[in-house]
Structure 1
Amino acid sequence: MQSVSQHPPLFYLIMAPLAGGLTDWAGVLAAGLAARALNVLLGAAAVAVIGYAAQVAFPRNRLLAPTTMLIAALCCSMLGVSGAVYNDTLATLLMAACLALTCQFIRQGPTRRRWLLLAVLGCAALLTRLSLMVVVAVCMLAIVLEGMVRGAGRDRWGRWTALLNGAGVGVLVALSAGWFYLRNLRLTGTITGGHPEWAAEHFNTHQVPVSELAARPETWQRLLSLFVPVPALGGVGLVLIAAPAACGLAAGVVALVRRRATGADLAVAGVLGLEAVLIVAMQLKYSAGGGGLHPRYLLPALLTLAVLMAGGLTCSRRLAGIATGAWFALWAVFFVPWWWQQAQQGAAAPAGGFPAWPGPAIVLLGAALVAWTIAVVRIGRLGGAAALSGAE
């Protein structure tokens, strides 16, 4: 189980009854398996919320939400952290929820319930992972700007209501989570709680300029190996991302040129794009200071990436099923053999003395492949129906 003192406590508070109570009652193995099971549920919830966020972000595109959810479910980094005990699952869930709520503000306007939910999600996000500060900040900025631009006649305070409410939410978030980061600052001298000098001495880490790190091809091969099971397949991972993402960008440009994109569409796309760019920039800065290039650190940008890729795979409604199926097949060519190899190794020599059950694992993989295949077929049928109705 991941247990890092400089991480905010919410995820570990959720896991504490399993890690503590079950360890004393049934042993470490039972507690670990229960914690992993709970984390699997958090991972599944994160994928579902990512699909919901895609639907809220671009409600006119019926193909986008199911394809986005399928892509998120096939993210190997997401599968990896969901099967372990990492706070990335909860962080990804809260990221998607914050962005979905922001899209509702942009498209439907503010309500008291949405402001209250924004405060709750902001507090939970900052009590889960520091990187979510970027997500919360972008969401707050977008919501306040929406109110300043379109809120003139909504109530007595008009366009200033959003600014006042945003300030109130910011104060609540600071009061709920600020104490923890002040604690890190007091103990280590940084709000992250890291010890870069100690790490450099004991782990032989090196600091490099951000520009130099960003110019290395291996940086992007490792960082963007989200959809392959091991970083050694980083080149393949780049292809799995770049091909549909390029088509998605092209489809967006075409929609803009043909004036099919509304102002709300542009605002939502801007929020998603800015959030993803800042997440990548923050990760590059962290890695340049000696941190690792782990693809799971980019999971807070998974919604944006999955929406962009889904837009590329479904840019042709008639061919959406074929394109999505081809992408899924290419992913499976690399993931399934790796899974089988891991199952064989686990059966031969369970690591750490813990038991391994490759049989049930393979059955679960088979069930997942069937479910994913059904999703691809469903996407193809939705695309065919949408193309037919558009032709009529």
Structure 2
Amino acid sequence: MQDARTRNGGPSARAATAPRRGEAPAATVGVQRPVVVGFILCAAGRALLIPLFGSADEVNHLDYAFQLFHGQWPDFFAGPVIPGAGPRSPLSVQAVSQHPPLFYLIMAPFAGGLTDSFGVLIAGLAARAVNVLLGAAAVAMIGYAARAAFPNHRLLAPAATLVAALCCSMLGVAGAVYNDTLATFMMAACTALACRFIRLGPSRRRWILLAVVCCAALLTRLSLMVVVAVCMLAIVAEGIVRGQGRDRWGRWTSLLNAVGVGGLVVLSSGWFYLRNLRLTGTITGGHPQWAAEHFNTVQVSVGELAARPETWQRLLSLFVPVPALGGVGLVLIAAPTVCGLGAAAVAVARKRVTWEDLLVAGLLGAELLLVVVMQLKYSAGGGGLHPRYLLPALLALAVVMAAGLTCSRRLAGLLTGAWFAAWAVFFVRWWGQQAQRGLAGPGGGFPTWPVLATLLLGAALMVWAFVVIRIGRLGGASALSRVE
């Protein structure tokens, strides 16, 4: 016979239904999944809204994969060779040839095989479809990483997943062919593993996964080096503090394993960066002298660049569809961020944080700071100020913004809904302008499908509105259970 305490919802029942350590509550996961569905709908709509090669550098990314399929490396000065790349000019160079090849190996069967068989339009749309899925995987991984970072904050992971899904830069690269989607996924996966190390300690499975992810990250983009380095330092710090007596090597085991992982990273990707060094003189593989001659770029100091207001308006326009709305983008980021930092300060003052919380927060903060500094140094040397270059810091931004939107459990739905509505006003207006252009005629010789794209956007907005309601209900139930 069933025990009365279990039947009536007593302690035994709650223990039986409570998630195990490290396991996500079913209600939380149930909120995150529709967010990813909405992202897929919206990013797919954008892929149909913007003509192929209608975004900067997309032709270069697709061409890289096309050339790999045909057994050759892209050459910077030779430019793109994929059919449909457009007329050649002095500025027609292969601008992404310095990137490592993992993303392009994934895209090669679509960019190469389908171009040869059905033409570049079909190949480009297929590659965009794959990239939509990669972007969705990145958003889902950001949600998982947020849950791994702060597992006791029930609303944080759903809200962080929603913030990541509404990142216009993320939607932009997922609805085209850019390697930022895979890079963002690798960043989130590496950080999630580091958080699991900090929260649950090391295991053989986690070390193997970490080695695979770190190697894949450096085979995707060099900018992920700072993420890998910060995660390794956090894992080593955890091992030194708590590793005494775990095994034969004790507190030094994590350091030795980290050195081993670093060696595997060098073996797996070092050859490519040595190739960049041989071809260009730097491991980054850039051509700053060529850019200075053809784009009239001017080198400035990092301090001078950081002092310009327009720098931050462009760089932090992650949540608006065009850099011209940079001021609005700053507000969309700043408002929830200030609330999130305030909530964190209150938690520290009331001693509601643990050593693990502080280490995880330091990990995310260091990632954000180093990614921003790296971008400033790149731009000060003549590079562009593109907000998508900050996507390696999207997890940290999403976590702190989500913390601000859910700082009050009772008001979580209202605050998240207000932020979502403010975002949608500008995004839908931009979408309407793009749809009108598509209805007026195809751009760049490639067709678009604005009506179908807009239907997908409408479906995505309805899914996300449903998610906002679910976050509100989850917050209300959490606040009520806390009172009881």
Amino acid at match of 2:453: A
- Cα distance, 1:8 vs structure 2: 0.6
Q: Does 1:187 align with 2:279?
A: yes
Structure 2 equivalent of residue 114 of structure 1: 206
| Match of residue 243, structure 1, among 335, 338, 347 | 335
- The CA distance in 1 between the partners of 2:410 and 2:170, in whole Å, is 30
- Cα distance, 1:349 vs structure 2: 2.0
- The CA distance in 2 between the partners of 1:349 and 1:185, in whole Å, is 45
| Match of residue 317, structure 1, among 404, 409, 425 | 409
Q: Does 1:264 align with 2:356?
A: yes
- The CA distance in 2 between the partners of 1:86 and 1:256, in whole Å, is 40
Structure 2 equivalent of residue 335 of structure 1: 427
Amino acid at match of 2:446: F
Identity of aligned residues (%): 78
Q: Map 1:210-225 to 2 at 5 A.
A: 210-225=302-317
- The CA distance in 1 between the partners of 2:416 and 2:97, in whole Å, is 42
- The CA distance in 2 between the partners of 1:42 and 1:260, in whole Å, is 37
- Cα distance, 1:259 vs structure 2: 0.4
| Match of residue 476, structure 2, among 381, 384, 387 | 384
Work out the number of aligned pairs and report it.
392
Q: Secondary structure at the match of 2:282?
A: coil
| Match of residue 164, structure 1, among 248, 251, 256 | 256
- Cα distance, 1:65 vs structure 2: 0.4
- Cα distance, 1:251 vs structure 2: 0.2
Q: Map 1:44-83 to 2 at 5 A.
A: 44-83=136-175
The TM-score with structure 1 as length reference comes to 0.99
Q: Does 1:20 align with 2:131?
A: no
| Match of residue 242, structure 2, among 125, 147, 150 | 150
Q: Secondary structure at the match of 2:317?
A: coil
- The CA distance in 2 between the partners of 1:153 and 1:275, in whole Å, is 30
Q: Secondary structure at the match of 2:239?
A: helix
Q: Map 1:277-296 to 2 at 5 A.
A: 277-296=369-388
Deviations 1:314-349 (A, max 9, x none): 000000000000000000110001101101101112
Amino acid at match of 1:73: A
Q: Does 1:35 align with 2:127?
A: yes
Structure 2 equivalent of residue 203 of structure 1: 295
- Cα distance, 1:263 vs structure 2: 0.7
Structure 2 equivalent of residue 255 of structure 1: 347
- The CA distance in 1 between the partners of 2:253 and 2:203, in whole Å, is 11
Deviations 1:139-178 (A, max 9, x none): 1111111111110110011111111111100000011011
Structure 1 equivalent of residue 365 of structure 2: 273
- The CA distance in 1 between the partners of 2:165 and 2:140, in whole Å, is 9
- The CA distance in 1 between the partners of 2:448 and 2:199, in whole Å, is 49
- Cα distance, 1:272 vs structure 2: 0.3
- Cα distance, 1:254 vs structure 2: 0.1
Q: Secondary structure at the match of 1:207?
A: coil
Amino acid at match of 1:66: P
Deviates more, 1:338-347 or 1:231-240: 338-347
- The CA distance in 1 between the partners of 2:358 and 2:114, in whole Å, is 49
- Cα distance, 1:211 vs structure 2: 0.1
Q: Map 1:341-360 to 2 at 5 A.
A: 341-360=433-452
- The CA distance in 2 between the partners of 1:282 and 1:88, in whole Å, is 16
- Cα distance, 1:198 vs structure 2: 1.0
- Cα distance, 1:280 vs structure 2: 0.2
Structure 1 stretches lacking a partner, 5+ long: none
Amino acid at match of 2:276: N
| Match of residue 373, structure 1, among 465, 471, 484 | 465
- Cα distance, 1:268 vs structure 2: 0.3
Amino acid at match of 2:255: L
- The CA distance in 1 between the partners of 2:400 and 2:120, in whole Å, is 41
Structure 2 equivalent of residue 176 of structure 1: 268
Structure 1 equivalent of residue 10 of structure 2: none
- Cα distance, 1:24 vs structure 2: 0.8
Q: Secondary structure at the match of 2:458?
A: helix
Amino acid at match of 1:149: V
- The CA distance in 2 between the partners of 1:309 and 1:293, in whole Å, is 22
| Match of residue 141, structure 1, among 233, 240, 245 | 233
